[in-house]
Structure 1
């Protein structure tokens, strides 16, 4: 099938092709439609093979094919920053940490940068529950200080709501982290919150002084 033709197909038609031939008395198109009715495409793209197998008409082979297709699509379309690339723009921070949007628990990470704002590494500082992840400035700054990072970006996710908008606690934590970073001589550049619907940057929102 020509590429242009594939792009013109509806979601259910694409999924029908992916599911392959009809199995027994379960028409492939019907199975595809039921699956899309149960899981919007944005959720289907991140569902595991085990989750997919819970739906009628989706056996082990079909579940594996769907999960593999979406993973290949992500790998082909998503190019996260690599070590040595400048990561100062909040959009690039989001692209680097986007998998957090679909994590099962809230996590807190720091991105370590050199003097030119280039990526050194990312560090997972803490993992909490679905709705909270307690973190102390000391924990968040331990690795940046140890490795001599010039700058850092704080990142955490909102897995429960998917809405990256900061809570009052997020804002309070941000201020405490910035103050602590100043004390130890590390340049805190931003705090980015990642959610299923996108990201929130304290810098872009005008709530962070450069």
Structure 2
């Protein structure tokens, strides 16, 4: 009895019937327990996903399998819910939980100001990336500004496919005129993740700059959103110019009235 008690105090126990001893291993700490002890930031992506979907070794293995592809969380966010639902171990309930959580995380990155002041291509990219960078198709936005670079309206004027997005100039300037904007920034995403502007991007930009000149609405820039990066036609020196026009900094609308 005394020997058994002593062994128990150091984490060992005697095997029944053989008189031998074996180590009593501590139970593995679950991701949920680690979350409460260390905080959510300490968990890996698969661990966070397994906490969301439920407890158990099989759930952790499923979470690891879902994130095993090179795209990780971003690719998971881009999946069609019906395709995800069809995967072994998933189903409508788990799929809805996962997609809703990923969307909440994406929305949490949004600018909270209703009318932010955006003065550089980098600020434009930071504002748009949470909405555009994870999309599976191209979309085209028109950001409408007053003379102080305050965003009056962010209008999605076109949606396309994975590599094309037809844009109607009338829709672009309808958004600007409705919001009484003095300047606009054009923006769209490249689902491939590469923000390099195409020849079509440059041609469309030139067309819209000319239309804006006729209407008295300045096109400040065209920003292309990629995967964690962006391209600004103004920064690259590729924003088309009209008859002797010169380009200043992005915030050229400045304080002019």
TM-score (norm 1): 0.82
Match of 1:34 among 65, 68, 74: 65
User: What is residue 56 of structure 1 aligned with on the other side?
Assistant: 88
User: What is residue 145 of structure 1 aligned with on the other side?
Assistant: 177
Once the two structures are TM-superposed, the CA of residue 90 in structure 1 deviates from its matched residue by: 1.9
- 1:79 and 2:113 aligned: no
Match of 1:203 among 234, 237, 242: 234
* Stretches of structure 2 lacking an aligned partner (at least 5 in a row): 1-34, 240-246, 249-257
User: What is residue 101 of structure 2 aligned with on the other side?
Assistant: 69
Once the two structures are TM-superposed, the CA of residue 127 in structure 1 deviates from its matched residue by: 2.6
User: What is residue 6 of structure 1 aligned with on the other side?
Assistant: 40
Matched residues, number: 205
Please list the CA deviations of residues 127-174 of structure 1 after superposition, one character each: whole Å capped at 9, or x if unmatched.
333322222434422332344211101112223x23221011111221
Q: Which has the higher contact order (CA 8 A, sep 6+)?
A: 1
User: What is residue 162 of structure 1 aligned with on the other side?
Assistant: 193
Does the 8 Å CA contact 1:84/1:120 hold for their aligned counterparts?
Answer: yes
Does the 8 Å CA contact 2:145/2:182 hold for their aligned counterparts?
Answer: yes
- 1:112 and 2:148 aligned: no
CA distance in 2, matches of 1:100, 1:90: 15
> Cα gap change, 1:5/1:96 in structure 2, threshold over 3 Å: closer, same or farther?
closer
Root-mean-square deviation (Å): 2.5
SS in 2 for 1:204: helix
- 1:183 and 2:214 aligned: yes
CA distance in 1, matches of 2:132, 2:48: 27
CA distance in 2, matches of 1:175, 1:56: 50
Larger Rg: 2
Please list the CA deviations of residues 6-27 of structure 1 after superposition, one character each: whole Å capped at 9, or x if unmatched.
32333222222222134xxx81
